[in-house]
Amino acid sequence: MSNDWYSDFVNSSIGRSIAGTVGLPPVPRLRRYEPGQPLLSGPALLGTATADGRVAKVVRSLLTDLGVEVHDDPNSAVGGGSSTSKVAAGIVDATGLSGPGDLAEIQAFLTPVMRRIGPSGRVLVIGDVPAGATAPAVRAARRALEGLVRSAAKEARYGATVNLLHVADGAENDLESTLRFFLSSRSAFVHGQRLDVGTVPGFSGSSQGVDWDKPLAGRTAVVTGAARGIGATVAATLRRDGATVICIDVPASGDALARTANEVGGSALQLDITADHAPATLLEHAQRHGGLDVVVHNAGITRDKLLANQDRDRWNSVIDVNLTSQLKINDALLSSDVFHRGGRIVTVSSMAGIAGNRGQTAYGASKAGVIGMVDATAPLLVEKDATINAVAPGFIETAMTNAMPVGTREAGRRLSSMTQGGLPVDVAETIAWFAQGASYAVNGQVLRVDGQNYLGA
Ligand code: NAD
């Protein structure tokens, strides 16, 4: 049993038949990652929109190396079945578009894909970066993909996801960790989203020789706010992927912090990240562990008040914890060799920072500020071969959301394309992927992990 009574009900045998009869919306059970799980649970369809496509070759070679059955014709019989049998993925190389007329090729491929995509299947559209085109017709066609994907996501069923990758010119061979994330069940709650790869110039790195079961092996990570909630799950996920984890939280959460650190075989550092000495203390502690490869800025607070009732102390506490502390720690990381070459900074924004939320002006400001921080910091990290990215969770099942009034909670869950809240592990999987050395071409990105929530933007 989960906290979500409605999902439990419509997924019970009696509930399923009642829901079917009266037309209640279903809540699909999402396939989530377990170590050793294959990338895809069945065959894939791989289409190309134009003869100039740059990425189909790379996608095909990854899938065939992993033993996935790949078909080019979306109406092919697959897996010993028929031409209507379910598929685990439909991927279309939509690079090289010359104008809106080319979009019809994508429609022709995706129409059968949408009929055939199986439970928790993956539909991935891969296009060029719109800003890279000066001709209006080319740019319009590139940008059209975003409207197509966001709309198709609202039509997908049974936990299938639909997402868009923009790939910068020359970055087509730097996609492996991103393809592995978006095609696998690690991205279970990332739906209707767009991610740009290779758009911050000057990146370098390699995915040669990566152990994809332990992609963080040999790396040391700091997670702030690790005592509980999403932070504790991030610590466990980074550990599962091979990292040594330093867990940070306020002294008042010392017992819970020690528990997380014990569970992940890591160390605990009791530290208020807003303290003046916090950046120096963090670096000193990390130095004793041989330096730092990954920093996850997860600690965050809410102090909700309508703006009409806001006061300066409450406002400042939210901005200090959620934003200013991160800026100070990043300044220290940038100027210290303790933060290793090839390092990764991952920060936690929020849908409130993108769409806004009633009663959350301070929180929304802090979480939007985090996005500005990511934008401006990404180019500064290139000379260290490092990256910074953000996750923006929507409604995630935690103690915080469980304490919401029932109406708000139900709206948060149901008003999304997945008709459910995400789990802390969905946020953690996204952070763990950003944290990989092999994600070197993903920089300056903000990825919503929200099942395509309809609230706000
Ligand atoms: P939580 O309240 O359960 O955990 C936050 C942790 O941060 C706590 O352990 C707390 O002690 C710690 N912390 C707070 N101030 C600190 C400080 N000054 N120094 C060190 N540690 C401090 O919250 P959560 O739901 O797990 O959220 C984690 C992050 O995800 C936050 O940044 C939050 O804003 C963000 N987020 C959560 C949701 C959601 O649905 N739960 C949605 C969007 C964004």
Our answer on whether the CB atom of 396 is closer than 6 Å to any ligand 1 atom is: yes
Our answer on whether the CB atom of 330 is closer than 6 Å to any ligand 1 atom is: no
The minimum-distance atom of ligand 1 relative to the CA of 427 is 30
**Mutation pick for ligand 1 pocket among 223, 271, 285, 298 (CB with most ligand atoms within 8 Å):** 298
Q: Which residue's CA is the nearest one to ligand 1's atom 33?
A: 300
Give pLDDT tens digits for 230-261.
Answer: 999 999 999 999 999 999 999 999 999 999 99
Give pLDDT tens digits for 123-144.
Answer: 999 999 999 999 999 999 999 9
Q: Which residue's CA is the nearest one to ligand 1's atom 44?
A: 350
Among the residue ranges 212-221, 311-320, 404-413, the one predicted with the least confidence is 404-413
Our answer on whether the CB atom of 422 is closer than 6 Å to any ligand 1 atom is: no
Superfamily name with CATH number, domain 220-449: NAD(P)-binding Rossmann-like Domain (3.40.50.720)
Answer yes or no: are the C-beta atoms of 69 and 88 closer than 8 Å: no
Strands of the sheet with 194-197, listed across from one edge = 70-71, 44-48, 87-94, 117-128, 161-167, 194-197
**363 catalytic residue (yes or no):** yes
Q: Which residue's CA is the nearest one to ligand 1's atom 6?
A: 225
Where do the structural domains in the chain lie, given as residue ranges? 39-197, 220-449
Percentage of the chain with pLDDT > 90? Answer: 89
pLDDT for position 261: 98
Superfamily name with CATH number, domain 39-197: NAD(P)-binding Rossmann-like Domain (3.40.50.720)
- Find the catalytic residue in 158, 363, 440, 454: 363
Kindly calculate the radius of gyration of the chain based on its CA atoms and give it in whole angstroms.
Answer: 22
Q: What is the pTM of this model?
A: 0.97
Give pLDDT tens digits for 42-72.
Answer: 999 999 999 999 999 999 999 999 999 999 9
Our answer on whether the CB atom of 230 is closer than 6 Å to any ligand 1 atom is: yes
- Mean pLDDT across the chain: 95
Answer yes or no: are the C-beta atoms of 401 and 395 closer than 8 Å: yes
> Averaged over 23-32, what is the pLDDT?
88
Same topology for domains 39-197 and 220-449, yes or no? yes
Our answer on whether the CB atom of 321 is closer than 6 Å to any ligand 1 atom is: yes
Residue by residue, what is the 3-state secondary structure of the chain? Answer: CCCCHHHHHHCCHHHHHHHHHHCCCCCCCCCCCCCCCCCCCCCEEEEECCCCCCCHHHHHHHHHHCCCCEECCCCCCCCCCCCCCCEEEEEEEECCCCCHHHHHHHHHHHHHHHHHEEEEEEEEEEEECHHHCCCHHHHHHHHHHHHHHHHHHHHCCCCCEEEEEEECCCCCCCCHHHHHHHHCHHHCCCCCCEEEECCCCCCCCCCCCCCCCCCCCCCEEEEECCCCHHHHHHHHHHHHCCCEEEEEECHHHHHHHHHHHHHCCCEEEECCCCCCCHHHHHHHHHHHCCCEEEEEECCCCCCCECHHHCCHHHHHHHHHHHHHHHHHHHHHHHCCCCEEEEEEEEEECCCHHHHCCCCEHHHHHHHHHHHHHHHHHHHHHHHHCCEEEEEEECCECCHHHHCCCHHHHHHHHHCECCCCCECHHHHHHHHHHHHCHHHCCCCCCEEEECCCECCCC
State residue 390 phi and psi, 5-degree precision.
Answer: -130, 145
CB neighbour list of residue 377: distance below 8 Å, 6 or more residues apart: 330, 334, 345, 388, 444
Q: How far is the CA of 256 from the centre of ligand 1 (A)?
A: 14
Give pLDDT tens digits for 292-350.
Answer: 999 999 999 999 999 999 999 999 999 999 999 999 999 999 999 999 999 999 999 99
CA distances from 89 to 42, 72, 113, 147, 450 (A): 8, 12, 8, 20, 21
Placement of tokens 């921080």 in the chain = 373
